[in-house]
Amino acid sequence: MDGNGRWAQQRGKPRSAGHQAGLKVTRDIVEHCARLQIDALTVYAFSSENWQRPEKEVSFLMELFVKAIRSELNKLHENNIRVQFIGELSRFSEGLLKEIKTATDKTANNTGMFLNIAVNYGGRGELVSAMSDIAAKVKNGELDVTDITEKTLTEHTWLAQCPEPDLFIRTGGEQRLSNYLLWHLAYTELAFTDTLWPDFDGTELDSIIQNFSSRQRRFGQTGEQVKAS
């Protein structure tokens, strides 16, 4: 969800106004995806590198997260959405951790779309965390080194419960992953749009999904093999 700051700056507004507008769009897109019966939507709200931003912007974002979870939770629950937070959560304030726990617990038994909110998230950090959990199990004899497979690693990531992502969308014009879902994106189709996040909407999402549907996903096979199967 990139481009909030530039959107605001283009309008002579503070960056915070962009984040506020971005939140509205996030709400619309979450509902749109739930209506499309998408299995899982993972949104990058705050990266492990975003702490380097000016203190004022970081604290604005933290307050926005608390307020957003509070104001959106009932609606998310009504829509049968399962809310999960992925990232190194321990760095957050007690207040935010409390909201995170409330949202996670309240929606844990829902059966609809997974909404994964990546906060203080970094793809490399996620892999280090998975590997260290695996190493601990090897050390205490719970797991044998020869039993470690790709599946083992997937099961120790923060998205263990979700299917692999089919489609990645980055708004805001940059064409890079910025440490996002490094393990999970191995076979994901990538889409980039210049639209700034606060200008993104369901119509553009639909057209990206339509383009995605026309792609042939070969997973290493030839086009002929895929057609035959």
Active-site positions?
A: 2, 50
Is there binding between residue 50 and ligand IPE (CB under 6 A)? yes
Q: How far is the CB of 27 from ligand IPE (least distance, A)?
A: 15
Is there binding between residue 87 and ligand IPE (CB under 6 A)? no
3-state secondary structure the chain: CCCHHHHHHHCCCCHHHHHHHHHHHHHHHHHHHHHCCCCEEEEEEEECCHHHCCHHHHHHHHHHHHHHHHHHHHHHHHCCCEEEEECCHHHCCHHHHHHHHHHHHHHCCCCCCEEEEEEEECHHHHHHHHHHHHHHHHHCCCCCHHHCCHHHHHHCCCCCCCCCCCEEEECCCCCCCCCCCCCCCCCCEEEECCCCHHHCCHHHHHHHHHHHHCCCCCCCCCHHHHHHC
Q: Which one of ligand IPE, Mg ion, none is in contact with 121 (Cβ closer than 5 to 8 A by kind)?
A: none
**Considering beta carbons, is residue 23 or 134 the nearer one to ligand IPE?**
23
Q: Which one of Mg ion, ligand IPE, none is in contact with 42 (Cβ closer than 5 to 8 A by kind)?
A: none
Q: How far is the CB of 205 from ligand IPE (least distance, A)?
A: 17
Residue nearest ligand IPE by beta-carbon distance: 5
**Residues found near Mg ion in the complex (CB under 5 A):** 2
Backbone dihedral angles phi then psi of residue 118, each to the nearest 5 degrees? -85, 115
Q: Which one of Mg ion, ligand IPE, none is in contact with 137 (Cβ closer than 5 to 8 A by kind)?
A: none
Q: Which one of Mg ion, ligand IPE, none is in contact with 6 (Cβ closer than 5 to 8 A by kind)?
A: ligand IPE
Site mask for ligand IPE (CB under 6 A), range 147-186, x = bound? -------------------------x--------------
Site residues (CB under 6 A) for ligand IPE?
1-6, 19, 22, 46, 50, 61, 172, 197
